[in-house]
A and B are shown apart, each in its own frame.
Chain A
Amino acid sequence: MSLHIGTFNMKKFIFTSLVASFLVLNNASAVEQGEKAPLFQARTSTGKIVDLQRNKSKVILIDFWASWCAPCRKTLPWLNELHKNLHTKGLEIITLSVDREKKDAEKLLENVKPLYSVGFDQDGTIASLYNIPSMPSSYLIKDGKVISVFHNFGDGFEKKIEETILKELNS
């Protein structure tokens, strides 16, 4: 069967349709450095509202975590240390749990005893806004803009993140 209909190329048309539909289905892109940070509100375990808009003028570290994510579990206690060292200098830490079951996150938090704000994003709405590419993912935000993005924390990530934050706090 010939796929040529006059000057119209059926093969090309099918290929273009498939590529277009693929692009439409996968159009979301992750929030990158230099982009405007998507605003959000999240509820904490105590019922408080964590609002990014309210902290817009500060240097903010947003961390997405989950109780089932091993590297995230390592990060949470370290964030307490970071809060102790840099909160007075102007750093605000907002962590967002993406656990579907809130009790899983709360169980972990009982041991961590966070000094920073912990919001819950059970349905992944905020994670979708940022379209985080991996777990854990952290975003350093200043004046509503994403200054740095950190993914897949490897060895020595603490030093790297702390240095970047200090640089922003001192600038």
Chain B
Amino acid sequence: MKAKIILFSITMIAICSFSGCTKVTPWQKGNLAKPHMAFDPDPLDRKFTQHIYDSKEGVSGGASLAGSGCGCN
């Protein structure tokens, strides 16, 4: 039984240690700051596409939400 417990705990620790989750440190966030990682990499292009959409549909607005982005509003 003792061997089973040891094996179980080693497995649990191994699962925690070798999981895909890793802490991205602040100095490693350069890739996240690249333009192609942005949700909206080209604001001008988005505005243009939105204008075409608005003309086609005959309506405008509602494409974005107001708020601080903190999820508190």
Binding site for B on A (CB under 8 A): 5, 8, 10, 13-14, 17-18, 21-22, 25-26, 64, 66, 68-69, 98-100, 121, 124, 127-128, 131-135, 137
Contact = CB atoms under 8 A, between A and B. Distances in A.
B26 A133 contact: yes
A66 B9 contact: no
Contacts of A121: 27
Contacts of A14: 8-9, 12
Contacts of B17: 21, 25
A69 B13 CA distance: 36
Contact of A128 (B16, B25, B30): B25
B13 A135 contact: no
A124 B28 contact: yes
A68 B37 CA distance: 12
Contacts of B1: 5
Interface of B: 1, 5, 8-9, 12-13, 16-17, 23, 25-30, 33-34
Contacts of A26: 23
Contact of A127 (B12, B27, B33): B27
A18 B29 CA distance: 28
A11 B48 CA distance: 58
Contacts of A124: 25, 27-28
A135 B26 contact: yes
Contacts of B23: 26
Contacts of A134: 26
B6 to A, nearest CB: 11
Contacts of B9: 13-14, 17
11 contacts: A13-B9, A21-B12, A25-B16, A25-B17, A26-B23, A66-B30, A124-B25, A124-B27, A124-B28, A127-B27, A135-B29
Contacts of B27: 64, 66, 98, 121, 124, 127, 132, 135
